Each structure stands twice: as structure tokens, then as C-alpha cells.
Amino acid sequence: MTGSAQRLRVELGERAYDILIGPGLIARAGEHIMPLVRRRQAVIVTDEIVAKPLLAPLQQSLDAAGIAHQTITLPPGEGTKDLAHFGRLVDAILACNIERGTMLVALGGGVVGDIAGFAAATLLRGIDFVQIPTTLLAQVDSSVGGKTAINAAAGKNLLGAFYQPRLVLADTGAMATLPRRELLAGYAEVVKYGLIADVEFFDWLDADGGKVCDLDPTALNRAVMTSCRMKAEIVAGDERETGDSRALLNFGHTFGHALEAETGFGDALLHGEAVALGMVLAFDFAVRLGIASGQDATRVRRHLARMGLPNQLGAVGLANKADRLLAHMGKDKKVRDGRITLILPHRIGDAYVMRDAKSEDLRAFLADAV
């Protein structure tokens, strides 16, 4: 424990780092960052929406720790994760007269964490950075594990690097500023952990998930802590996704990224909403192949619907788009020798990697689904 925060360790040898989880961490960020800095200079990267309620307390905490700082504010939204914005970001960071000892601080959701982390990985061939995720999705997923990336015209996260942060500060109090839709999008990633490896966690979410999304402190802390613990253990054992264990974290994502690409990587379909739909499709496809039971698929669909997440492709305007969705899936990072890799369930709490999904089976399935 650190004050009211709980601590997890991502065990990666010399690159190991802590995840702190709890309320009020942004206001105390300076004291946690100070032991890690090699030069008393930080550059904060945030977005226009996050900056309004959360930038000032972060700046004040750095002031109190004696860390000089400058701030770069980005436009909000997935559209910021492109080459044009990345180029402007690195130019702005370099204009701050950084050195290799400068600490980059990513204050925001997954978009800010991804683009700032990729900048940290590439600037001066690598500078230190800290993740301060402010959304549920970022706290339980993108801020942990060192995946940094931006999008290309051909698809999501196709330009990136594995580059671990020095520290993750998951301030659960920050989520009070989130719109309900953003909170639900993050909840989809929480559900993912139960579906791939922990049926008891899913059972709890099925009963008490509403409390998580209502920001009940006890339920929220359990959801974030359980999700981060599972991811930390997986990352420690398979940092660069060379085996199957880390690949399981992509459950719902191959379908989901295709849905995001087809809807334009924007507000029409948020990343977590796409993952929710992707998980439903993964269960439905597994049922079609005789791998999973229809009862489990129905339970997952009903849970997501009850929570307010999309669970039908028709609701997001993707009728008659089977071929286009399949084309997007063919550009996924996990494609090998032209074969699409999917994470499919045997049952709730038990998923596996299918590395040779047949295109004709997927095309027929998607045609029926849309």
C-alpha cells in the first residue's frame, strides 16, 4: 500500500515498474515521479478535455516536488493517433529542449498514452515516461504492458513499439470526470479479463458490474486491481507477444479493430464499444465452428446489453459490409502468411489462439452477422 493506493509490480527485470491504483494519485504524482527522474524536467502530454479538470493538480504536484515542467495539449479523440499529429507532437516536445533524462508524462486516456508512449520510445532513441491513465479503458488495458502505437491509413496501431513506462499512476478518482459512454467503453475491457481467463471474475461482474460503472469505490477498485493484476502477470511472462498468453489480451480486438477502421476511428464507434462487439462476434463465430456453447454466447451478449454496450452490428450501420470487414481483418498485425489469427473462447473464462481462421468461413459468418 502507498497511502490509500494499492501497488502492483510488473516484473520485467531491470525494466520492472509499479502500478499504483487508488484515488488522489494525480495530486500526489510529483512525489511518486521524483525518485525516478534523472533530470528535474518533465513534459506533460495531455488533451483538451482531460486538461480542464486534471492538468492543474498534476502541475501543482510537480511544482511541489521541484520538477520543472512544460505542457503540450492535443486535440481529443482517436483521430489524434495519426502520423500528422505525431509529427507535430515530437516537434513540440523537441522544442522543449529535452535531454535523455527528461521525463515524459502522459496524462489522459488510451490515445494520449499511446501517442505519448510512442514518442517516448522514439525521441532521442528513447526517453523515460510515466503513464497517468484517466479513463477506465486506459487504466485496465492500454497503460500497462508497454504497447505504444499510432494508426495508419491501412489500420489501427500499425506503427508502434514495445516500450515500457517507468510508472503507472491509475487515479480511480479521475473517472468521476468521464462521460457515461466512455466509462462503459472501458468496462468492455474489464469484462474481457473475465472472459479470457477468470470465470469467477465474470460471474462477479455479471452480478455487480453496475456498481463498477456507477463508480462505487469498492467495486471500481476491485475491477481495476483484478484487471491490472491479470495483465501484469501476462506481460511479465510474454512481454512481446511471442507466445499465446499475451495474445489472449487481444480477445475481441481483431473483429473490433476492423469495425473501428470501417467506421472511421471516430466517435461513431469507440474502441471499447468495438471490443464489446468483437467479443460477441468471437463467441458467435466459436459457436458456429462448434467450439463454444450458444448458452455462453447468449450470456455474454445479454450482459453487455444490460450494461448499455452495443451487441448487434446492425446498430452501428455496418449492413452489407462483410467483404470490407474481412479486408480490414486481413491487415491486422497478427496476420501470419496471410492467415488471420483470432482469439476464440472454448467457454467463459477459457480462451485460446486460433492461428489459421479460414477466410471463407469468416466471410460467410460476417455476411450473416451484418
Among residues 189, 260, 262, 273, the one annotated as catalytic is 189
Among residues 32, 81, 192, 257, the one annotated as catalytic is 257
Active-site residue, 303 included: no
Distance (Å, whole) CA 193 – CA 184: 15
Distance (Å, whole) CA 42 – CA 111: 19
Among residues 32, 166, 253, 334, the one annotated as catalytic is 253
Mention every residue, 6+ apart, whose C-beta is less than 8 A from residue 288. 361, 365
Cell output for 266: 471516430
Among residues 81, 156, 166, 231, the one annotated as catalytic is 231
Distance (Å, whole) CA 178 – CA 234: 28
Among residues 166, 271, 303, 321, the one annotated as catalytic is 271
Distance (Å, whole) CA 166 – CA 19: 9
Among residues 78, 182, 239, 241, the one annotated as catalytic is 241
Angle separating helix axes 294-307 and 271-288, nearest 10 degrees: 160
Active-site residue, 189 included: yes
Active-site residue, 125 included: yes
Among residues 246, 303, 321, 334, the one annotated as catalytic is 246
Active-site residue, 257 included: yes
What does residue 317 show for φ and ψ, rounded to 5 degrees? 70, 40
Cell output for 365: 459468418
| Residue of 310, 363, 22 whose CA lies nearest to 172 | 22
Active-site residue, 69 included: no
- Catalytic positions are 125, 147, 189, 231, 241, 246, 250, 253, 257, 271
